[in-house]
Chain A
Amino acid sequence: MEHIRTPKVEQVRLLDRFSNKSASGTLHLTATHLIFVESNADAAQEIWILHHHIGSVEKLSLTTSGCPLVIQCRNFRVVHFVVQRERDCHDIYSSLLRLLRPVSYEELYAFSYNPKQNEQQREEGWQLIDLGAEFERMGVPCDQWQLTDVNRNYKICETYPRDLYVPITASKPIIVGSSKFRSKGRFPVLTYFYQEKKAAVCRCSQPLSGFSARCLEDESMLQAISKANHNSRFVYVMDTRPKLNAMANRAAGKGYENEDNYSNIRFQFVGIENIHVMRTSLQKLLEVVGTRSLSVNDYLLGLESSGWLRHVKAVLDAAIFLTKAVTVEGASVLVHCSDGWDRTAQVCSLGALLMDPYYRTINGFMVLIEKDWISFGHKFADRCDQLDGDPKEVSPVFTQFLECVWQLTEQFPQAFEFNEWLLLQIHEHVHSCQYGNFLANNQRQREELQLKDRTHSLWAFLLSEGQNYLNPAFCHTYAETHPVLEPSTLPCHLKFWRNMYHQFDRSMHPRQSVLKNVLTLKESNRQLEDTIMKLEAVSTLLTTEAWHQPPHPRPPEEAKKCCSDTERTVEGSSGSERKESYGDLQGTYGAKVEPAVVSLEFGVARMTC
């Protein structure tokens, strides 16, 4: 709280990003949020912005109407305030500057966030996902793959998890030797096992091969991976980088596998660009789509020149290549990039999503993220800029993964148990630092921070409101008929993800949501089925026992209102979603319950009577 100079500024105007509309209200600054409350009592909107979500604050030069303050958030919200007095504006500005640059993990919201949960519930939340059980589900350990304890103390590789799975024939010296030959010690380990063909998806970092170095242990390691699969005589090695980048790495003593040294590999570049290119690309894209009165041509040209969709396509193409190699050829595949925690995570997790229907369920998807991203050390803290760090380390790699998943959900509307809102909500919380799951860069750091004892798990929260994230079109038998998804990556089938990048620009979205409507109906169906059961029970009771029991039971009361509950409202026809508590606005915001972070209401209609 010591950083807050002015907790409240009145008569602040909020300008709409794309139109000339504005709203006036009061700005509150709390220890965790910046809150704007519109003063118009009829259609009062509230905007809650978590400090961690703020990517940048900019104070523009003074105008006649006041001092403009532009805030860009990591969830792609952009707000433009005009504060009447420059001093107030400056106070807010400098407070925010300090607040959005936490220097230690302890300052993050997750350590103070306290939902109404008891200790037991909190602990249970952390036990929801068990990666050991996940490997068992895949059929590992088995006669070819085993759990190794070499990294029990993070001695071999501090960015890997403790539990790792390797071929039976990979002895400890081979592992140690191989890890020394791999960037950051990230030696080849199992991440997914395709039981049907006993084919493995393994991941690692680039070899320290330079121009000519070789490592017998590393070669044996790949040999062991190959031998563990009797279906294929070779292993695909997918280097997810563009060839040029990989070659440039050789000068720094890194590089890629030389096919001559590895007896049974097939080496393949797939050409996904690095984190810097991705960062710039998304920045360009956001610049383009943030332009006011954008023309269609500038939009399309901007979409093209940003290259974003091209990168999305490259990632998807790589995942498809991986999937085909495993499911069609039955070959094992080793995936790497430079350090094996960005592109490798994308390709391995998307490949698994295409191959295994389990990952297309809500639980499975959480397991997938936990496995390929969290436990294998995708550097969330660095990539999402959780602490004041190196801006060059920041990159939307995980966002891009979520977008790839979204593209798949668009192509296969029946294949996924979850809907788009789950992806948006996960994205929101990767940046919110409200839950412990994504804090820090790897498991070792997370253990040091004792996150499981001190913070809450996002997965528990998401599951608690799981009905919001259900895809009503999900077909349970789809997994049997389409175990492996074969998406199209023809350019015309990849779309701009408006609901992500314009999540908060309500004027751009459809004014009525099919998804929301159908979800409501589905919920209503469930209630009606309930009611019918109860009514039928009463009815049987009445007919069979009427002779003996004159005072018959009443039909259940709650059943009566069910029918009227199912009426659907035209969205936006009422603006009263969250009006209840404006009475106590004078007080502090500390005690107030924070609204669900992603507002699931895309469609505030512009419909007029």
Chain B
Amino acid sequence: SHAAIKIQPMRQFFSSGHTNNWAVLVCTSRFWFNYRHVANTLSVYRSVKRLGIPDSHIVLMLADDMACNHRNPKPATVFSHKNMELNVYGDDVEVDYRGYEVTVENFLRVLTGRLPPSTPRSKRLLSDDRSNILIYLTGHGGNGFLKFQDSEEISNVELADAFEQMWQKRRYNELLFIIDTCQGASMYERFYSPNLMALASSQVGEDSLSHQPDLAIGVHLMDRYTFYLLEFLEDIHPSSKANMNDLFKVCPKSQCVSTPGHRTDLFLRDPGSALITDFFGSVRKVEITMETINLTEPIHFVNEERQKETYSYVDQLPVSEIIHQKPKQKDWHPPDGFILGLWTLILLVFFKTYGMKHLKHIF
């Protein structure tokens, strides 16, 4: 009775299941005309830091240095709003992977934890099975791939496999994946690991558009989706109760021109119960109480949503069901050049052996 009254807030207390937050923020493009991708990443970095995730838990990867680029008329700044309203570079940026270190290999190694022993702590994603991770990618992308630095690509299959490796090694509790590129929705199509939620700025076949052309600097400062995301996040504070459903509403088609998409089928909780601060902030749940709570009694939870069966290590979720959920419709394609060539060859051989006189009958 006395303990039962106290159980209620404790259920809420442990409802999200994570104890620490990490963020991996990646900008994959270099060159001065891709200023907006760096500004995108730095805006998310700024929000994430403001909401409480410390630099030690943020892996920031920037492929180029816009603040110190020779063409920057305002050196040491990266603006996200024109007329220089908001300098997202600030004076306490900690970039962990910079310039040519931002490669597909390094990104995958960070995610899976397979880094050489000499890698410093600031370059590692030291997450555990109670970490909520935010992964934000931006750059130039296409249907099923994201371009890294003009010379390589990461495909959606590779990304899905990396997340599966993370799941099998218990490197995350829940993972929020946000991508702001052209045709971004193609990047989360292939996910099959549990507890993943994904957002993208545009569907397959659509381009994500840029925003904020600034004539003084001479480039576009932000992309639309991240611009409105930043606006949304500026209203979030550490004790905000906004949930993921609000995040899905960010940047509707009227503002973004492209159609943002999201994927929640792999996420085991209801998205409405997942708070924004579960991923974007590092909220330490501290409640000061003057009363004593007897913890020797076992706490009985009535677990409606949580799975009770024990799974074997590998088999947490019937993977095959997820992968083959939607059988792909195979459209009929006309035979391509190989088959046509093969038939031409067969016909030629036939006429060669049986004589050209047969050809006269046809033509």
Chains A and B belong together in one complex: no
B interface residues, Cβ below 8 angstroms from A: none
A interface residues, Cβ below 8 angstroms from B: none
